[in-house]
Amino acid sequence: MSDVQRPGADWELQFVIAGCVEKRLPIEIVGSGSKRAIGRPVDGVVTITTASLRGISLYEPNELVMSARAGTPLSQIEAELAARGQMLPFEPIDLGPTTGGPQGSQTIGAVFATNMSGARRVLYGAARDHLLGVRGVNGRAELFQAGGRVMKNVTGYDITRGLTGSWGTLAALTEVTFKVIPWPETSVTIIYLGLPDNLAIELLSAAMMMPVEVSGAVHLPAPVAARLNHPGLKTLNKSITALRLENFASAVAGRKQRLKETLKVYGKALELEHRETLEFWNELRRLSVMPHNRQTLLWRISTKATTAPKLVSAIKRYMPAEAYYDWGGSLIWLEVPSAADAGTAEIRRVTAIHGGHAMLIRAEPAVRAAVEVFQPLSPPLERLTRGLKAAFDPAGILNPGRMYANL
């Protein structure tokens, strides 16, 4: 890393990128850099940080909308929202701790650039579902905007959402506008103990087929549950299958009874009241059960909930693995021993058989440079991917190689 640029205004960012376009200098875009340890390492000659693009430019609590400059720390956004009894619906996950970085250092731009959503996604949708508008500069040094600040907007193609999950390879965002929601009055967590993976996923699915609006549905096999910080839960030596309800108090109480009635065949349920519920899900949000560890790698696999346990046991035939299931089972965080190829061949083959996609989240830089970190694409998708990249960044200077080699 060499030259670090800290533009403080859209035009400055545009100016810096224009200079790089002219000299063909590759750029690495970082927010706070909290996810730098993820993805393929970027060879940037110029580093552009959004750290000086800070501040909340619009907040209308009565319209559930906020705009912020891309470098605004997530912690600041969440504090402002909390002061008005509101929150981000998708509970963005913090990968800092698990990748060996600091906790809570994410920027709002990076949250959308990586589309990293947390447990509440099962009810409200992903980060991408809540992004309403963006401003940014592409690899042609053009300043552009897309979307807007209103909830419903189909004017032109949906570039806004199309940029989520592009990891800074299409454009550097300078401002994002997104939808927020009110904090629920209260919450509860219902926990079932000792279920094997397949029964646990069956339980989570049964709960989510009911109109009780489950807002968190996770399963932690016993060895993973033992890593929790929660003093009561970590010492049980049992798997933990947890459901969260959030609503006004009487609705939470009524729905909890309905759930417990339907799920009673799975055993007796423990309950975490509101404050403990906040702590439990905050812990999961930091991925505390998959702590940083140089001896292991971390994969993130997206699949159908009902196939998830089979997928995990299929991988276990090839290597030791610990899984933590989120999103009712449709998201697997998988920890496997370090290996030069990160277990890529087996993990990708098994995932292909069961349907879904896998991304390598944590590995040493040498490993990340050597294997395909993001899911390889089908030939037509790859062709479209190259086309899209060229449309935004024809010289290939924005985060080159971050998602795919030669792109």
Partner 1 sequence: MTLSRMPEPDRAVLDRRDSIVKDLEALIGVDGVISEEEGRRAFEADALTAYRQAPLAVALPRSTEDVSKILRYCNQNGVRVVPRGAGTSLCGGALPTADSIVIGTSRMNRVIETDFINRTITVECGITNLAITDAVSAEGFFYAPDPSSQLACTVGGNVAMNSGGAHCLKYGVTTNNVLGLKMVLVDGEIVEIGGAYPDSEGYDFLALVVGSEGQFGIVTEATLKIVPKPESARPVMLGFSSCEAAGQCVAAIIGSGIIPVAIEYMDRPAIAVCEAYAKAGYPLDVEALLIVEVEGYEDETTRLLRDIVDIARSFDPQVIEASTSAEHSARIWKGRKAAFGAMGRISDYYCMDGTIPLARLPEVLSRIAQICAEHRLKVANVFHAGDGNLHPLILYNANDQDESNRAELAGAEILKLCVAVGGCLTGEHGVGIEKRDLMEVQFSPSDLAVQMRIKSVFDPGWLLNPGKVFPLSVLEASGERPAADQAA
* Whole-angstrom distance, CA of residue 332 vs CA of residue 171: 29
Q: How far is the CB of 292 from partner 1 (least distance, A)?
A: 24
> What is the Cα gyration radius of the chain?
21
* Whole-angstrom distance, CA of residue 348 vs CA of residue 147: 35
Q: Given the complex with partner 1, which of 51 and 315 has the nearer CB atom?
A: 315
Instruction: Please say whether the beta carbons of 292 and 228 come within 8 A.
Output: no
Q: Given the complex with partner 1, which of 345 and 391 has the nearer CB atom?
A: 391
Neighbours of 138 (CB within 10 A): 20
Q: Could you tell me which stretch among 99-107, 177-185, 272-280, 282-290 binds partner 1 (CB under 8 A)?
A: 177-185
Residue from 103, 268, 98, 250 nearest 190 by CA: 268
* Whole-angstrom distance, CA of residue 64 vs CA of residue 152: 13
From the number of C-beta atoms within 10 Å of its C-beta (0-12, 13-18, 19+), residue 398 rates as buried
19 binds partner 1 (CB under 8 A): no
Q: Given the complex with partner 1, which of 231 and 387 has the nearer CB atom?
A: 387
Q: Given the complex with partner 1, which of 41 and 148 has the nearer CB atom?
A: 148
Query: What is the x/- site pattern for partner 1, positions 60-79, by CB under 8 A?
Result: xxxxxx--------------
Q: In the set 36, 161, 244, 256, which binds partner 1 (CB under 8 A)?
A: 161
331 binds partner 1 (CB under 8 A): yes
Q: In the set 107, 174, 303, 344, which binds partner 1 (CB under 8 A)?
A: 303
Q: Given the complex with partner 1, which of 160 and 277 has the nearer CB atom?
A: 160
Give residues 90-119 in contact with partner 1 (rule: CB under 8 A).
115
Give residues 249-278 in contact with partner 1 (rule: CB under 8 A).
250-251, 254-255, 258
Q: How far is the CB of 219 from partner 1 (least distance, A)?
A: 15
CA 1 vs. chain centroid, Å, equals 26
* Whole-angstrom distance, CA of residue 144 vs CA of residue 151: 20
Residues recorded for the chain: 407
Q: Given the complex with partner 1, which of 200 and 228 has the nearer CB atom?
A: 200
Q: In the set 39, 356, 400, 401, which binds partner 1 (CB under 8 A)?
A: 356
346 binds partner 1 (CB under 8 A): no
Give residues 194-213 in contact with partner 1 (rule: CB under 8 A).
205, 208-211
Q: How far is the CB of 393 from partner 1 (least distance, A)?
A: 9
Give residues 369-398 in contact with partner 1 (rule: CB under 8 A).
374-375, 377-378, 380-381, 384-385, 387-388, 390-392, 394-396
Query: What is the x/- site pattern for partner 1, positions 120-149, by CB under 8 A?
Result: -x---xx-xx--------x-x-xxxxx-xx
Q: Given the complex with partner 1, which of 166 and 215 has the nearer CB atom?
A: 166
Q: Which residue is associated with the tokens 């605004």?
A: 72
Q: Given the complex with partner 1, which of 182 and 320 has the nearer CB atom?
A: 182
From the number of C-beta atoms within 10 Å of its C-beta (0-12, 13-18, 19+), residue 74 rates as buried
SS3 250: helix
Q: What does 370-401 look like in DSSP terms, one character per residue?
A: HS--SPPPPHHHHHHHHHHHHHH-TT--BSTT
405 binds partner 1 (CB under 8 A): no
SS3 346: helix
* Whole-angstrom distance, CA of residue 284 vs CA of residue 95: 11
Q: Given the complex with partner 1, which of 228 and 287 has the nearer CB atom?
A: 287
80 binds partner 1 (CB under 8 A): no
- Nearest 5°: phi and psi at 138? -90, -175
Give residues 311-330 in contact with partner 1 (rule: CB under 8 A).
327, 330
Q: Given the complex with partner 1, which of 238 and 258 has the nearer CB atom?
A: 258
SS3 365: helix
Six token digits for residue 85: 């009894």
Judged by CB under 8 A, the number of residues near partner 1 is 83
